[in-house]
Amino acid sequence: MTDAPVISCRNAWKLFGPNPKQYLSQMSPGRSYEDIRADGYIAGVKDVTVDVDRGEMLVIMGLSGSGKSTLVRCLSRLHDITGGTIEVEGQDIMALPEKELIELRRSKMGMVFQSFGLLPHRTVLENIAFPLEMRGQDRHTRRERALEVINLVGLDGREDYFPRELSGGQQQRVGIARSLAIEPDIWFLDEPFSALDPLIRREMQDEFLRLQEMLGKTIVFITHDFDEALRLADRIAIMKDGAVEQCDTPDKIVLDPQTPYVRKFTEEIEKARVVHANVLAGPVNGAEIIGEPVPGHHTIQQLARQLVNDQRDQLPVADKDGKITGIMPRQKALDLLLGDASDG
């Protein structure tokens, strides 16, 4: 990841109502969502500041009406914000003329929504090639690219199928492939798996993680499912009433929820299956390294058997290259796995 974020959102507001810009300019600081609503306005996005780094997957989650879809539509300027700024790769997207905005979307942004939006009279290949056709690419070039992404998402042999001949999971793969066909740098996904049954949803999450490992896209992914967010995210932004309650890594959100609302989301989560060894590790600070290290990218649950059987008080933690990055107190990990002994 680079130092400069790909997307930078600063104090963004999206108000719905009769005269939102004037209202925002005259609004007294600290007004709550309900105060704003009582004045005849809806705060779809309420003073949101968030960055998305290159190659990061930021998952935005919250209940229905929390503002997550509105925020993503603001980040891609499908909605114009009422106040604040949003920059994409250093460009203030609110200042872009329509022609440049369309070009930015066509060249850099891919979008996948909950409704697949496939063209029923076109085959899988033709659906995937459609955005390339809109770009004006010739038939041979767009066919070759469509076949590449068909292979990428595992739809080989179904090039000539129509949407009605595909399962829900296969239709969603077509939607994902279509958005990938333009080779976007930034990928917006709005609850893409929520219409699928649990088994297919899990398979699609696996497929999505595989694709992200291969492609390294910058992704903003919306979900209302906390388990899905924990599984997919580099960071999670939890929204309520248009505002971001907390934006942090899954480990830190589970270990240290910052608000009562976030705490409600995390209270039923098994912390050991979310928290990784490197998060519990402290600095080496000259401590003696004894025995084999544990992998820092493994969760405490994955290390459960070793933690129970290992007799060392301090376990060295290593990165994927085997380099020691810290020291983890074994008791701290056991407390997370089995419950704090002091709590009975």
Q: Per-residue pLDDT tens for 97-112?
A: 999 998 888 888 888 8
Mean pLDDT rounded to a whole number for the chain: 90
Q: Would you state the pLDDT for residue 263? A: 93
- Same-domain pairing of 67 and 210: yes
- Same-domain pairing of 225 and 252: yes
Q: What is the per-residue pLDDT across 224-266, written as a single tens digit (0 to 9) for each? A: 888 899 999 999 999 999 999 999 999 999 999 999 999 988 8
Burial profile 287-298: b = 16 or more Cβ within 10 angstroms, e = fewer: eeeeeebbbbee
Decide if 167 is inside a domain. Answer: yes
Q: Tokens 């080989």 correspond to what residue?
A: 156
Residue 205 and residue 219: Cα distance in Å, rounded? 14
- 304 CB-near residues (< 8 Å, 6+ apart): 272, 337
- Same-domain pairing of 261 and 294: no
Per-residue pLDDT, averaged over 145-157, amounts to 88
Does residue 22 carry a pLDDT above 70? yes
Could you say which of 271, 292, 325 is where a domain stops? 271
- Same-domain pairing of 118 and 219: yes
Q: Would you state the pLDDT for residue 341? A: 54
Per-residue pLDDT, averaged over 6-17, amounts to 97
- Same-domain pairing of 280 and 245: no
Give the other-Cβ count within 10 Å of 173's Cβ: 25
Kindly indicate the confidence band of residue 340, based on its pLDDT and cuts at 50, 70 and 90.
low
- Same-domain pairing of 182 and 252: yes
Give the other-Cβ count within 10 Å of 314's Cβ: 19
Given its phi and psi angles, is residue 207 left (phi above 0), alpha (psi -120 to 50 degrees) or beta?
alpha
Decide if 46 is inside a domain. Answer: no
CATH code, 101: 3.40.50.300
Q: What is the per-residue pLDDT across 86-140, written as a single tens digit (0 to 9) for each? A: 999 999 999 999 999 988 888 888 888 766 678 999 999 999 999 888 888 899 9
Kindly indicate the confidence band of residue 342, based on its pLDDT and cuts at 50, 70 and 90.
low
Per-residue pLDDT, averaged over 59-85, amounts to 94
Q: DSSP code of 154?
A: T
Per-residue pLDDT, averaged over 270-297, amounts to 91
Q: Would you state the pLDDT for residue 2? A: 46
Per the document, the length of the chain is 344
Residue 50 and residue 32: Cα distance in Å, rounded? 20
Could you say which of 271, 300, 319 is where a domain stops? 271
Residue 247 and residue 7: Cα distance in Å, rounded? 15
Kindly indicate the confidence band of residue 151, based on its pLDDT and cuts at 50, 70 and 90.
confident
Does residue 58 carry a pLDDT above 70? yes
Number of domains in the chain: 2
- Same-domain pairing of 140 and 113: yes
Give the structural domain span for 291: 272-343
- Same-domain pairing of 238 and 101: yes
Locate the DSSP E strands across the chain: 7-16, 42-52, 57-61, 83-88, 91-92, 109-113, 186-190, 218-223, 235-240, 243-248, 294-295, 314-318, 324-329
CATH code, 293: 3.90.1280.20
Q: Is the dihedral of CA 141, 175, 106, 218 positive or negative?
A: negative
- Same-domain pairing of 278 and 335: yes
Q: Would you state the pLDDT for residue 208? A: 83
Phi, psi of 337 (to 5 degrees): -75, -45
Q: Tokens 């507001």 correspond to what residue?
A: 13
Torsion of CA 229, 326, 338, 340, to 10 degrees: -110
- Same-domain pairing of 163 and 312: no
Decide if 242 is inside a domain. Answer: yes
Does residue 344 carry a pLDDT above 60? no
Could you say which of 246, 271, 296 is where a domain stops? 271
Q: What is the per-residue pLDDT across 208-233, written as a single tens digit (0 to 9) for each? A: 888 888 888 999 999 988 889 999 99
Q: What is the per-residue pLDDT across 311-337, written as a single tens digit (0 to 9) for each? A: 899 999 999 999 999 999 999 999 999
- Same-domain pairing of 150 and 247: yes
Residue 221 bridge partners (DSSP): 59, 189
| Percentage with pLDDT > 90 across the chain | 66
Kindly indicate the confidence band of residue 1, based on its pLDDT and cuts at 50, 70 and 90.
very low
Give the other-Cβ count within 10 Å of 260's Cβ: 8
- Same-domain pairing of 71 and 114: yes
Decide if 17 is inside a domain. Answer: no
Residue 1 and residue 12: Cα distance in Å, rounded? 24
Decide if 314 is inside a domain. Answer: yes
- Global pTM? 0.86
